[in-house]
Copies of this chain bind each other. A is one copy, B any other.
Amino acid sequence: MAEPMGSALARTTLAQLKARISAGEWPVGSRIPTEPELTEQLGVGRSTVREAVRSLATLGMVETLPARGTFVRSLTPAPSLLFDALQTYHPAELIGIRRALDVEAAQTAAAQWIPERLEAMETAVAIEMEAMREHNAGIPGGVTRCTLFHGAIAQASGNRLLADLDTSLSRALDSSGLGAHIAESIDPAVLLNEHDRILTSIRARDVAAAAHLMALHSDAALRTLRHTVLTTEMTTLSQQPG
């Protein structure tokens, strides 16, 4: 781990508190001891305790409410940090990463899906189909069209980081307004057809086809934004081994 604090005492104090939180000593939502109590428990001054608690708050692991106490919010540095970090980049940079991850997710999903995850992907497509029939712009839950299906594929890849990055990228793009713009710029029927073909290739465990179709699908979204599009032919040659 990096050295976030400048001195040994403050650093070890932070490490101790982080370890006790991650160990589940204080469940999510519960209140940790007050500053004077921690001062006594850890044998350090109140300012040192405060600095450590502040760092935990910066990491999203705790939240301190004035005059009420400090409460545990997450046993690990918050996944929302990923979202915060992504939000600092230009949407075009986010889209470039998203395309690469989408292809990877499609490949891996095709190679490694289990029945439960395939069902989730088919459900996503079914929901999209229903939404299109009813001429709704969106999908129940306020989720932008496309997000649900792509998220299901990321889940099916079995890679949690891939799934979390997908979610965070979607949120970051949505907050920039580009996510909705992409979804609305594409003919729903065409989009749904592409999704269906991708799903078919995944179901058939056709890794190359899944990667190729997903690359074309992502490029279509890119084209609507008038960004430079890279060739996609060779992407399919990078098959997942095994």
Please give the residue numbers on chain A whose beta carbons come within 8 Å of chain B beta carbons, in ascending order.
1-7, 10, 47, 50-51, 54-55, 57-60, 63-66, 70, 76-90, 93-94, 96-97, 99-101, 103-104, 107-108, 111-112, 114, 116, 155, 157-163, 165, 175, 207-209, 211-212, 215-216, 218-219, 222-223, 226, 228, 230-231, 233-235, 237-242
Contacts and interface: CB of A to CB of B under 8 A. Distances in A.
A199 B188 CA distance: 40
B237 A158 contact: yes
A241 B226 contact: yes
A219 B238 contact: yes
B242 A155 contact: yes
B230 A108 contact: yes
Contact of A96 (B10, B58, B66, B162): B162
Given A2-B80, A76-B88, 17 more contacts: A1-B87, A2-B60, A4-B57, A7-B66, A51-B54, A54-B54, A58-B59, A77-B85, A78-B89, A82-B85, A93-B162, A97-B159, A112-B228, A114-B239, A157-B238, A207-B230, A212-B238
A86 B162 CA distance: 11
B84 A238 contact: no
A52 to B, nearest CB: 9
B211 A238 contact: yes
Given A2-B60, A215-B238, A96 B104 contact: yes
